[in-house]
Structure 1
Amino acid sequence: MTTSRPAGAPARDAQLKSVSLRQQAREALRTRIVLGQIEPGQVESVINVASELGVSITPVREAVMDLANLGMVEIIRNRGFRVPVLTDHDLEEIFRLRTMLEVPAMVELAESVDRASVAGFRQLAEQLTGAARVGDLVPFLDLDRQFHLGLLELLGNRRLVAMVGQLRDQARMEGLQKLADQGELTQSGEEHVAIVEAVLSGDAELTAELMRKHLTHSRGIWAGRTEGNG
């Protein structure tokens, strides 16, 4: 899990601290990519990014290599990197894979895992909803990641957590800023509370229904697309 970050969207001139620069650069770039703050298809210079973050080229170059291994960026030799353009078909593939993996996993959680180990996630869901209510996207994304991957970790399947984490990174949440601006992000936060309550109640059918609906946003409003009734 990642640690909580300061409230508010990352400023383009945000300076990084001198601790774990590679990791901080990676997280800063990850957030910008997921939120669509780096234009897909546009070549970005490592030198320029390093200047914006206030660090040397090395940690940024290393961070870019990490993200390339996750499929989040493509390295352009002697030029920098670019974020791949995602089509509706790409989003649909990611949604279907996440549904195949996460819905059954959450059902298993509702049916078998000790409730005490899940109870702490209620508070995390409430914190996430609070961040959504005031439109703080960076902590919202961080808490959302902690919530979903943390619940999956309770099943003890490291490969499942890694695969879902990578799929999350490859998706886009360009629509979050619009939802936050319109005061409509709170509903997405509240869905996390409902999912935790369903798991704690041991209601596998409701857990599956809520989780499937929640994931639908990954190809809809979170990605800045129109959401259907399916």
Structure 2
Amino acid sequence: MTSETSSSETGRRARLENVTLWQRAYEYLREEILSERLQPGTELQEVALSQELGVSRGPIREAISRLAAEGLVTVRPRRGAVVRLLSKEEFLELYQVREALEMMAVRLAVPRLGEQDLATLEGLIAAMSRYAERGEVEQFFEANAAFHAHLLEASGNQKLRELYGQLLGQMGRYRMRSLTLRGNLQRSVAEHAAILRAARRGDAERAAHLMSEHIRVPQGRLKALDADELAVVAGARA
């Protein structure tokens, strides 16, 4: 191997290692934000994060840049980055996009649903009902998310799933808290059950319409919130 080739290989390995480092930092910070361990308004200090993760500041900057592109953080010139708090308008726009994507997913999924799919969805609704009765919001959220994810998967449209994943990346930390906008978790259970009944009949348009109504419920409550109430739902205040 020539010295030129060796140098090129060393450079390639260094680039790959750096990619791994920023991805590790990105995944760590993203999870911290979505889990609300890093709440809106929290400053992301490069030096502290570099020491905590055992990497240089370069990968930290790249990770923050990616998070900013996803709308999870705001980079302020000469002042560093902070975890973003979405405005009411941005929050509503995300719900509108989610509504459109999930309606499309339902239209595509219904003709493709088999008995096993329907049984899985039925089981998730039963789980939601149990959790709603017990007031177990976190468990309810997980079963609710699984119901929607199953329909997205059943759509068979990879690009749709990718777009939906990007959307959840922006609104992920708000989704469980937004369940409080519904007021009554049992109402949500009934809405999911109605969607499934339409799907069982093979009525894709009816199922899509019901999905639209289901997603619009928290939108209506969101519009009525003032700034302080929105901050609580968004996790910026306890």
TM class by smaller structure: 0.5 to 0.7
RMSD across aligned C-alpha pairs, in angstroms? 3.9
Quote how far apart the aligned CAs of 1:31 are: 3.5
1:31–1:138 CA contact under 8 A, matched in 2: no
Among candidates 26, 29, 42, match of residue 33 of structure 2: 29
- Alignment partner, residue 43 of structure 2: 44
1:226 matched to 2:227? The reply is: no
Percentage identity across aligned positions?
Answer: 26
Give the drift of 1:167.
1.9
Partners of 1:100 and 1:72 lie apart in 2 by: 22
Deviations 1:117-142 (A, max 9, x none): 33212112222333333333333333
Task: Give the unaligned 5+ runs of structure 2.
Answer: 1-23, 226-238
Alpha-carbon offset, residue 195 of structure 1: 1.7
TM-superposed deviation, 1:164: 1.4
DSSP-derived class of the 1:220 partner: helix
Larger radius of gyration: 2
- Trace 1:64-83 onto structure 2 (pairs within 5 A): 67-75=67-75, 79-83=80-84
1:170 Cα shift? 2.5
1:122-141 correspondence runs (5 A): 122-141=122-141
**1:158 and 1:104 mapped to 2: Cα distance?**
13
How high is the TM-score relative to the length of structure 2?
0.62
Contact persistence 2:44–2:81 (CA under 8 A): yes
Rounded Cα–Cα distance in structure 2 between residues aligned with 1:78 and 1:44: 9
2:201 corresponding residue in structure 1: 201
8 Å CA contact 2:128–2:189 kept in 1: the answer is yes
Contact 2:138–2:176 at 8 Å: present in 1 too?
no
Task: Tell which deviates more after alignment, 135-144 or 158-167.
Answer: 135-144
Note the 1:141-180 alignment, pairs <5 A.
Answer: 141-171=141-171, 172-173=174-175, 176=178, 178=180
**Secondary structure at the residue paired with 2:223?**
coil
Alignment match, 2:210: 210
Change in CA separation of 1:58 and 1:126 when aligned onto 2, cut-off 3 Å: farther
Structure 1: gaps of 5 or more residues: 1-19, 51-55
1:191 Cα shift? Answer: 1.9
Matches within 5 A, 1:183-202: 184-202=184-202
- Cα displacement string for residues 84-105 of structure 1 (whole angstroms, at most 9, x for unaligned residues): 43232x2343233223322132
